[in-house]
Amino acid sequence: MARLNLVIVSGLSGSGKTYALKAFEDAGYFCIDNLPPALLPTFVDLCNQQQSEISNVALGIDIRERAFFSDFVGILERVKALGHAVQVLFLEAREEVLIRRFSESRRPHPLLPHLPVLDGIRFEKERIAELRRRADRIIDTSDLTVHELGELLANQFQQESSDKRLTISLMTFGYKFGVPYDIDLLFDVRFLKNPFFVPELKSLSGDDPLVRTFVLTDPEAVALMAHLENLLKFLLPLFQRERRSYLTIGIGCTGGRHRSVAVAGRLRESLVALGHKVGLKHRDIDKI
């Protein structure tokens, strides 16, 4: 029996599920959108009976009716019991972002088309809250372009069945713009000297050599980097032992422009030197 690597793509309407499936298709997955959950075992059986060459599959499935959820969970457990790898990927976004996306597309919310979009969003959140709690991976697409979402999914899922190396994503942010909640580890570097208060450095970012030198040569920053590197040397093999395929590390300072960017850049260099695949995104670097 062929072993399938199956990813269930679900989440809130407007959060990017259609684009996610396109990204999976580009990564070599066989994709089906809006598959009724009851047909999932039949689909798996067909793949086995036909001795199909299909091994990586991404299915877009929406579970909005509470009555169907228990059946869906049972179906997934039966598929897992057959030896197939199953992951549930849940996409979401902040309410104001979803409202803007619906406004730009001029589409009503599919659950409550005759009421304000916000009512539909909150109603849907309630309906699929249990699915979110059971998800293996939650991605907030609020601050991602469709291209960034595609790149993120490609990095995390491409050839996942054969390559189990941990993919690490570093995200810098500013606390004054809110803490991202789709992260696994969080480090606050606001205790470091702030280039914002140095007139010749204020307008520069943490990518600039002058800012990097200012931040990273401070004794406290030197000690911080040593501790971070040692901590991650200890933690990463443990995450890999648990068969984690991705790890998102958030690094925050006040505005997300100077200290967090400099620290993340140095940390990325250290992790790459250790042989890890590391992505880096600066969420707030251009915000004021």
Residue 230 CB-density burial (10 A; 0-12 exposed, 13-18 middle, 19+ buried): exposed
Residue 107, pLDDT score: 86
Residues 125 and 18 in one domain: yes
Report, as an integer, the average pLDDT of 61-67. 65
Q: Which of 170, 177, 157, 204 is nearest to 58 (CA)?
A: 157
Report, as an integer, the average pLDDT of 261-277. 93
Residues 137 and 177 in one domain: no
- For 202, the enclosing helix (H) or strand (E) is helix 199-202
Q: Is the dihedral of CA 178, 182, 187, 189 positive or negative?
A: negative
Assigned domain for 240 exists: yes
If one counts the domains in the chain, the total is: 2
Residues 116 and 186 in one domain: no
Higher pLDDT, 192 or 129: 192
End-to-end CA distance of the chain: 56
Residue 51, pLDDT score: 58
Residues 180 and 243 in one domain: yes
Assigned domain for 287 exists: no
**96 has pLDDT over 70:** yes
List the domain range (segments joined by +) for residue 89: 5-157
pLDDT confidence band for 256 (50 / 70 / 90)? very high
Take residue 170 and report the two structure tokens written for it: 């570093």
Residue 5, pLDDT score: 87
Residue 162, pLDDT score: 45
Residues 185 and 108 in one domain: no
Q: Which of 191, 176, 184 is nearest to 224 (CA)?
A: 191
**164 has pLDDT over 60:** no
Distance CA 253, CA 146 (A): 26
Residues 142 and 178 in one domain: no
Residue 145, pLDDT score: 85
Residues 11 and 152 in one domain: yes
Residues 98 and 178 in one domain: no
Residue 70, pLDDT score: 65
Residue 205, pLDDT score: 95
Assigned domain for 162 exists: no
CATH of the domain at 62: 3.40.50.300
Take residue 132 and report the two structure tokens written for it: 């979110």
Q: Which residues contact 239 (CB under 8 A, 6 or more apart)?
A: 166, 247
Q: Which residues contact 77 (CB under 8 A, 6 or more apart)?
A: none
CA atoms within 13 A on the CB side of 65: 6
**207 has pLDDT over 90:** yes
**150 has pLDDT over 70:** yes
Take residue 249 and report the two structure tokens written for it: 């590390």
Residue 42 CB-density burial (10 A; 0-12 exposed, 13-18 middle, 19+ buried): exposed
The residue from 127, 157, 187 where one domain ends is 157
Q: Over the stretch 16-59, which tens digit does the pLDDT of each residue have? A: 998 999 888 888 888 998 888 888 888 888 877 655 677 889 99
Residues 203 and 271 in one domain: yes
pLDDT confidence band for 160 (50 / 70 / 90)? very low
Assigned domain for 269 exists: yes
Distance CA 261, CA 204 (A): 11
Residues 220 and 107 in one domain: no
Question: Are residues 174 and 255 in contact, defined by beta-carbon separation less than 8 angstroms?
Answer: yes
Average pLDDT of the chain, as a whole number: 87
The residue from 157, 175, 208 where one domain ends is 157
**158 has pLDDT over 70:** no
Q: What percent of the chain has pLDDT over 90?
A: 49
Q: Which of 262, 259, 245, 252 is nearest to 283 (CA)?
A: 252
What is residue 198's DSSP assignment?
Answer: S
Report, as an integer, the average pLDDT of 87-92. 93
Residues 251 and 222 in one domain: yes
Residues 22 and 153 in one domain: yes
The residue from 128, 157, 186 where one domain ends is 157
Cα 123 to the center of its chain, rounded Å: 24
Other Cβ atoms less than 10 A from the Cβ of 145: the count is 11
